[in-house]
Amino acid sequence: MKNWILVLLIGQSALLSGVAQAANVARGQQLYNMHCAACHGPRGEGVMPEAPKFRMGERLDQPDMVLMQSVRTGKKAMPPFFGVLQDAQILDVLAYVRTLR
């Protein structure tokens, strides 16, 4: 009986985390289109000449925490998003950006 409940709980949390992850990428896509696509391109092709082409995987070999810091503080022509996007929102956007590759 105890084992059965455990299996049920594990199954449920796996399902929930899967759903949460999908939602984050979808939210990230909306935020990306709103705040990032003008320079990085709707498909990560890079519109502004100096902007990394995420589609080609440029800069994406760095961990999320490093990329998030650049987005927070801004980098060269990229404006800072601190105070515009919350950390969780930046992570949603980065999750989406990694799907463009």
Residues at the interface with ligand HEC (CB under 6 A): 35-36, 38-40, 48, 50-52, 59, 67, 70-71, 75-79, 81, 85, 93
Chain position carrying tokens 């105890």: 2
Q: Cβ 45 to ligand HEC, closest distance in Å?
A: 13
Spatial neighbors of 28 by CB under 8 A, at least 6 apart, are 89, 91, 92, 93, 94, 95, 96, 97
Bridge partner list, 82: 85
Instruction: Pick the closer one to ligand HEC by CB: 5 or 49.
Output: 49
Q: What is the closest distance, in whole angstroms, from the C-beta atom of residue 43 to ligand HEC in the complex?
A: 14
CB of 19 to ligand HEC, least distance (A): 23
Task: Give whichever of 16 and 40 is closer to ligand HEC, judged by the CB atom.
Answer: 40
Report the distance separating Cα 55 and Cα 40, nearest Å: 9
In the bound state with ligand HEC, the residue whose beta carbon lies nearer, of 6 and 26, is 26
DSSP percent split of the chain into helix, strand, coil, nearest 5: 60, 5, 35
